[in-house]
Structure 1
Amino acid sequence: MSNLKIAKKLCNFLIEDAKEDLSLVGNLADLSGFDFHGLVVESVLNQFKEAYGGLWVGGAAILTQDHINFTPNTLNEIFHKGDNALSIPLAHIFNIDLEFGFLTKIIAVTTPYGIFKFRCFGAQSFMQKIESQIQHRNT
């Protein structure tokens, strides 16, 4: 099968091991004469990671015939260390659920190697497209 794009959704992916990079913020604050407290920001982000199991990284989820691909947007590439892009083969998905989320619902995708969560407006419709593509692949 080809990797023809079926749907695209702007979203936030919960990345368990996302690492923030505050160097640009610190440098901009220094240039602007602001007092930037990086340790305070890091402490707040660490508490957030503990509470939610990671950081929500903004970007786009793209459903293809074979995968769900997540690519961080430029801003999140700048403010996070490492490569937070990910690709989930549809063949590896054995469950998909819609969970409650504040403001937007959360799609939870279960695979043999973990549960991946992303949140977006129109989550139910996007989840139905994913389910439809999985069913189409299995026929």
Structure 2
Amino acid sequence: MSDLHIRKLCNALIPDAAPSKLAPGVAVNVADRIRRKAGGLWVGGRVEITPEGLSFAANGLNRAFHTGLQPVHIPLTAIRKAWREFGWVTGIVAVEHDGGTFRFRCYGAKKVAVALDKHIAALRRVA
């Protein structure tokens, strides 16, 4: 089994994200509508997938303009499966894990989802 190492710029759907006081009033209203409809806000940052797990950290601009942002870390042993979902321009990678489903959108989403799902399946066969 090959080592899994994927690092991508992405936007992650963060349920607890909210606009900070730095955001203009109109942006806050729009963000609140989007958050209610989508179940969170899409936050820019970087996702990294390694043999230890999946991690997401928001970039500096998004940390400045959002509150409620915490780094995400999902141990690989907690991940059940991954798949691609439709998204305009960039696809969405959905990762089902013991605590729910984590979603992020990036270029090459299909390849990322397939690589992660194959790695998870191989780990289960070995265990």
Common topology (TM > 0.5):
yes
Secondary structure of 2:88's counterpart equals coil
TM-score by length of 1: 0.80
- Gap runs ≥5 in structure 1: 26-37
TM-score by length of 2: 0.86
**Structure-1 residue corresponding to 2:38:** 52
Percent identity, please: 36
Aligned runs of 1:1-139 on 2, under 5 Å? Answer: 6-23=5-22, 25=23, 38-138=24-124, 139=126
Q: CA RMSD, aligned part only?
A: 1.8
- Gap runs ≥5 in structure 2: none
Distance 1:130-1:5 versus aligned 2 partners, 3 A rule = closer
Distance 1:48 1:122 in 2: 24
Distance 1:101 1:76 in 2: 21
Contact 2:85 2:92 in 1 (8 A): yes
Instruction: Count matched residues.
Output: 123
User: 4+ residue stretches of structure 1 with deviation over 6 A?
Assistant: none
Aligned AA for 1:89? Answer: P
Aligned AA for 1:9? Answer: K
Q: How far has the Cα of 1:132 moved from its partner? A: 3.0
